[in-house]
Amino acid sequence: MRAIALASYNATFVIKSRRPAPGETVRVNYMRVEHGGKGSNQAIGIRRMGFEVKLIASVGNDEFGELALKRWKNEGIDVSMVKVANAYTGYAFVLLADGGGNSIYISPNANEAIDTKIVMDELVNSNYDIFITVFEIDPKLALNAAKAASKKSRTIINPAPAIPLNPEEVDGIYALTPNETEIKVMSGLGPDLPADIPSLARSYSKHVNVVAVTLGEMGAFVISGNREKLVPALNVKPVDTTGAGDAWNAAFSAFLAEGNDPFYSAEMANRAAAFLVSRKRGIDLVDNLPFRSEIQWN
């Protein structure tokens, strides 16, 4: 099975601290730098599900770009379509709270240097079973590319970070996978406002085959055709929830591409997210993205 990921990459700085008050300087006793970017994480996750993965991305001509290329090659990902731009590599800053929750800031930098024509030509000329993209690159490019790819394969958009998005704009996409905050923003609501998540999901389900809204420790609310179901999460103690959505999307995409039921695919994705947040192989996100054998035990 083959996948194309139109992806982002961010060198990720993880800081564990309370939020400083305005004008306050806070001493931080915990900080790390690791590989990141939703698109990159998802591409690696799909690769670990046993897929051949071609990455379309852009990194900077700096040490972070070099480290990204090295990591992807070590994972066995095809990097022939990765552009090295005359720019800084993308950055992400993760503020990690006690209990494992997080807030994230991103600076796209080289992620905005992906060439639209090259992307479209590649989608026309390549053979692939699934296409996945995120909104850490130009959202308009992500949408247009997904629609072009939908003529050949199942396409998944993980609309993160979210933008206001009319349901009609995703016509023809196979699956849409926001989290509960993102679907509020997509629907024009404030991220902190209460909302009827199933109702919001139904408005998009009229235009795509599958809507799957990830709900953290509750699992995922999935709509496919006339069926809808809350697929419960595994009960685990989180070490760090950063990247849980990426692990989820990678597994969900892989199992969907193989023709599996969306609800079963969400069950496997919940397992992948649980494995990631448990940090079984240390603290780095990418190192803890699961392999297929670690989530498909029956």
* % pLDDT > 70, the chain: 99
Q: Is the pLDDT of residue 174 over 60?
A: yes
Residue-wise pLDDT tens digits, 4-50: 999 999 999 988 888 888 999 988 888 889 999 999 999 999 999 99
Say if residues 245 and 38 touch (Cβ distance below 8 Å): yes
**Residue-level pLDDT at 101:** 66
pLDDT score for 214: 98
Q: 233 in helix, strand or coil?
A: coil
pLDDT at residue 99 in the model: 58
Residue 170: per-residue pLDDT = 97
Do the strands 220-224 and 227-231 form a parallel or antiparallel pair, or are they unpaired? antiparallel
Give the pLDDT of residue 102.
74
Q: What percent of the chain has pLDDT over 90?
A: 86
209-246 tens-digit pLDDT: 999 999 999 999 999 999 999 999 999 999 888 899 99
Q: What is the CATH number of domain 2-19+30-285?
A: 3.40.1190.20
What would the pLDDT profile of 86-114 be if each residue is shown by its tens digit? 999 999 988 877 655 678 888 999 999 99
Q: Which residue has the tokens 């079963």?
A: 264
Q: How high is the pLDDT of residue 157?
A: 98
Residues in the chain: 298
Determine contact, residues 155/146, Cβ cutoff 8 Å.
Answer: yes
Handedness of CA 106, 111, 113, 119 (dihedral sign): negative
Residue 239, pLDDT score: 87
b/e per residue 91-119 (b: at least 16 CB within 10 A)? bbebbbeeebebebebebbbbebbeeeeb
- List, in sequence order, every residue forming a beta bridge with 85; answer none if it has no partner: 60
Please state the domain extents for the chain. 2-19+30-285
What pTM value is reported for the model? 0.93
